[in-house]
A and B are shown apart, each in its own frame.
Chain A
Amino acid sequence: MQTHPRKLIVVICEATLEKPLAEDARRLGAGGYTIADVRGSGRGGTREGAWEADRSIEMKVIGDAEFAERFAQHVLATYCEHYSVTMYLGDVSVLRPEKFGGR
C-alpha cells in the first residue's frame, strides 16, 4: 500500500477561536479540517466546557510541510499572545494525497 507523508497540526484552544481558525486554515490552503469539543487543564487553569465562555476545541488539520509551516506561524503570531493555545505537529501518512494539498 502506497502512503504519502503529510503534517498533522493539532490546535487546542478556546472555542472563541473556532471561526477565525477555520477561516485562516482555509485561506492558507487547507483542504479541510476537523473540530471537536474538548475539556482539560493547563497552566491557564481548568476548562470544563460547562458553559459558553468555558468551552475549548481541538482542531486537526492535515497538509503538506509548507502549509504546516504557514499555518503554525500564523497561529503563533496571531493568537498565542492573548489566548490559551496548545499546538503541536506530527508526521502522518495519508492514502489519498490530493485531499490534503501539495503533491
Chain B
Amino acid sequence: MDPVVLFFLLGVIAKLAKSDLRLPEALYETLSIFLLLAIGLKGGVELAKVPFGSVALQAAAVLAMGFLLPLPAYAILRGPGRLARPDAASIAAHYGSVSVVTFAVATAYLTRRSIGYEAHMPLFVALLETPAIVTGILLARMGTLGTVRWGAVAHEVLLGKSIVLLLGGLAIGAIVGPDGIAPIKLLFIDLFKGVLALFLLEMGLVAGGRLGDLRRAGPFLIAFGVVVPVLFACAGALIARLVGLSDGGTALLATMAASASYIAAPTAMRIAVPEANPALSIGASLGVTFPFNITVGIPLYLMLAEALRF
C-alpha cells in the first residue's frame, strides 16, 4: 500500500479515536495551494511539447464527459434513491466534478509503479471541475433558471482557487519550460509526495469527521458512493481509449471520472441551490467515495485501463 494512503488512514483513525490532532487551517490552505500549483506546473512543462490538435480533441471529449456525467447520477438518485430534486441535482454535480487530491494520489500510484501517462492530464482536471456544476444547477433549476445568481456562481467556480492555481501553474510551466522550472524543481516536484502525504493526513481527519453524516444519509447513499464511481470510471476509461490515451492516461481519466468534488462543487451548489442538504453530498463524496477511491478504486481503475485496450 502507498504511504500516502497510510497517512490518510492514520488521519481517519485519529479522528475516530477523538485524538486532539488537528492541523492548523493555515497549513491546510498552504498545502492545498502547493499541491494545485505543483500539479499544474508539472503538466505545463510537458504541455508545451504536445501538438495542439491532439490535445484539443481530447479536451473536447473530456468537457463533454463533464457535462454529461451528472445525468445518469441524477437519474439514479431520483429513481431508486427517491431523493428530492435539489439534493439529487447537488449530489450529481459533486460526482460529475472532480477531486484534485484523488487525481494526485493516482499519479503517485502510477509513478511508484513506473507507469507513464500523458503529462498534460492536469489540464483535464481543470476542465472537469466546472461543467458538472453547470449541469447540476440546470437539473435543480429547470423551469426557474432566472432565479440562479449565475454571476456569483461563475465567479466562485471559474475564479476559485483550484482553477486559478491549476491553470496558472500550467501556464507558468508551459512558458518557462523544463530549464526554467529547474530552480524551483526541488520544492514543487521533488517534495510533492511528502507534501501529498501530509495533506492526506489532514484529509483523513476531515473524512473521519464526515462519517457521522453517513448514518443520517443511509445505506442507499453509501452504496451510491461506491457503485457510481466504478460505473463512471468505466465511462472515463472508454472515452480515454477512444481519444487515444495510454494505459496511465486512461487510468487517470477513469480516476477523474470516478472522483467526486468536495471543494468547488459544495461551494457552488451552496450558492446556487441552497435548499439542497450539504450533509448528503459531502457525506457521500468525502465520507464514502474519497476513501474508496484512494484505497480500492485507483488500483481497480488501473486494472480496468489495462484490460480495456483496443
A98: Cβ under 8 A from any B Cβ: no
Q: Are B270 and A54 in contact (CB under 8 A)?
A: no
B271: Cβ under 8 A from any A Cβ: yes
Output the nearest chain A residue to B281 by Cβ-Cβ distance: A53
Output the nearest chain B residue to A79 by Cβ-Cβ distance: B274
B178: Cβ under 8 A from any A Cβ: no
Output the nearest chain B residue to A52 by Cβ-Cβ distance: B263
CA of A81 to CA of B276 in the docked complex: distance in angstroms? 11
- How many residues of chain A get a CB closer than 8 Å to chain B's CBs? 17
The residue that B28 contacts in the complex, of A20, A37, A51, with Cβ under 8 A, is A51
Q: From A4-12, A42-50, A62-70, give the one contacting chain B.
A: A42-50
Within 8 A of A (CB), among B255-276: 262-263, 266-267, 270-271, 274-275
A14: Cβ under 8 A from any B Cβ: yes
Q: Are B275 and A16 in contact (CB under 8 A)?
A: no
Q: Inside 8 A of A16's CB, which chain B residues have their CB?
A: 267, 270-271
- Category for how many chain B residues contact A: 20 to 34
Q: Are A50 and B28 in contact (CB under 8 A)?
A: yes
Q: Inside 8 A of B299's CB, which chain A residues have their CB?
A: none
Residue of B209, B263, B282 with most partner-chain A CB within 10 A = B209
Can you list 21 A-B contacts with CB-CB less than 8 angstroms, sorted by A residue number?
Answer: A16-B270, A16-B271, A19-B152, A45-B213, A46-B209, A48-B209, A50-B22, A50-B25, A50-B28, A50-B206, A50-B209, A51-B206, A52-B263, A52-B266, A52-B267, A53-B262, A53-B263, A53-B266, A53-B282, A54-B206, A81-B275
Given contacts A51-B262, A53-B262, A53-B263, 7 further A-B pairs with CB under 8 A are A46-B209, A48-B209, A49-B25, A50-B22, A53-B278, A54-B206, A82-B275
- Residues of chain B having any CB pair with chain A under 8 Å: 22-23, 25, 28, 152, 202, 205-206, 209, 212-213, 262-263, 266-267, 270-271, 274-275, 278-279, 282
